[in-house]
Chain A
Amino acid sequence: QKEVEQNSGPLSVPEGAIASLNCTYSDRGSQSFFWYRQYSGKSPELIMSIYSNGDKEDGRFTAQLNKASQYVSLLIRDSQPSDSATYLCAVNKRGSYIPTFGRGTSLIVHP
């Protein structure tokens, strides 16, 4: 089992819809979780961090964490074509300063 798993996609959604991106992790002791957005040919950009169970909202983005089920998700409301990118999930295992990254999910928002 991979440490951090994401569906590679592509996930295709129409403009204005909600995009739901999921990530599962294997280490039950993981404490911190991050979502990065990476446009083609660019570097990853941190968009959300979440540490506690439940939802965390920032603008059109909502991160959801369920430690019991070992998954973290990212919802993008009112998706725009400019949201088309690869979304990377990163997880810090207990005691680790260094996140483990998933392979990313490619999101395509079509007009």
Chain B
Amino acid sequence: KAGVTQTPRYLIKTRGQQVTLSCSPISGHRSVSWYQQTPGQGLQFLFEYFSETQRNKGNFPGRFSGRQFSNSRSEMNVSTLELGDSALYLCASSSGWAGEYNEQFFGPGTRLTVL
């Protein structure tokens, strides 16, 4: 089975710009979660999509948004970029059906640098 893929792997943007990141989950998985990882804050949950619906949401401002398509691929968008948005953005794939026993599998991540 192919793993989780994320594109692009690296991005450099300037403040004020917007960015779109893409994630393709493991085949058959219906849930995609997005995380931001920084040295200072660790892994922080952004949101989770399941069957094209946002099922869970973290504590991030509205500049961070996402969506999921019918083939379970997901995109995450960050508008009006700030320097503090520089981070590793991780996508995690899971079946979405196992409730509390949900195992998540991470993609390689997108390294975003905001100048």
Which residues of A line the B interface, CB within 8 A? 31-32, 34, 36, 42-46, 49, 51, 88, 90, 92-104
Contacts and interface: CB of A to CB of B under 8 A. Distances in A.
B33 interface: yes
Interface of B: 31, 33, 42-43, 45, 48, 55-56, 88, 90, 94, 96, 99-109
Please name the 10 residue pairs, one residue from A and one from B, whose CB atoms are nearest each other, closest first: A101-B43, A43-B106, A31-B100, A103-B42, A92-B100, A43-B109, A32-B101, A44-B106, A32-B100, A98-B56
Contacts of B109: 42-43
B13 to A, nearest CB: 20
Contacts of A88: 43
B42 A104 contact: yes
B42 A46 contact: no
A6 to B, nearest CB: 10
Nearest to B40: A103
Contact of B55 (A42, A51, A97, A102): A97
A32 B99 CA distance: 10
Contacts of B99: 97
B21 to A, nearest CB: 13
Nearest to B6: A43
A31 B31 CA distance: 20
Contacts of A49: 101, 103
